[in-house]
Amino acid sequence: MAAPSDQKATIIDGKAVAQTIRSEIAEEVRLLSEKYGKVPGLAVVIVGGRKDSQSYVSMKRKACAEVGIKSFDIDLPEQVSEAELISKVHELNVMPDVHGILVQLPLPKHINEEKVLGEISLEKDVDGFHPLNIGKLAMKGRDPLFLPCTPKAIILYSCLINCGNLI
């Protein structure tokens, strides 16, 4: 039988932690702007009008505004063709003021998500879904450019890291 523990649970104030992180990021953005005359830019691409996706993207855009990151809002209709979406991704890849690209998933059924995500420049893929980034996640001793932040990607990352001893 285990002995009783003298440790007590610590309650974490998530809102306070989030505010601290936002403040730190805002300061880093300010310093980047002062030192280099550049502000980080995030392009968020959303296809269609799914309420859950719209809400999630709205929160991302609000977070960018709070910390001083320039937000490039790309809202495309549900019927957009895969070729048009990929063309938009290619435009964002070469825009110097766009430092990160995020394509909100899921995409409509007529669009191949894997193909679209593979077209995002590796250096600008903030979700970490580019095939080369996923490959680096799976390889022991390799550092991906971006660690995934979505729950689905975190699960994948955890599985890859935990299986890393097999690689």
Residues annotated catalytic, as ranges: 60, 104, 127
Contacts of 29 (CB under 8 A, 6+ apart): 39, 40, 67, 68, 69
Tokens of 47: 């296809």
Tokens of 54: 């719209």
How far does Cα 162 stand from its chain's mean position? 22
Nearest-5° angle of CA 148, CA 134, CA 103?
Answer: 55
β-strands 70-76, 100-103: how paired?
unpaired
CA torsion 63-66-68-71 (nearest 10°) is 40
59, 7 contact by CB (below 8 A): no
Residues composing the chain: 167
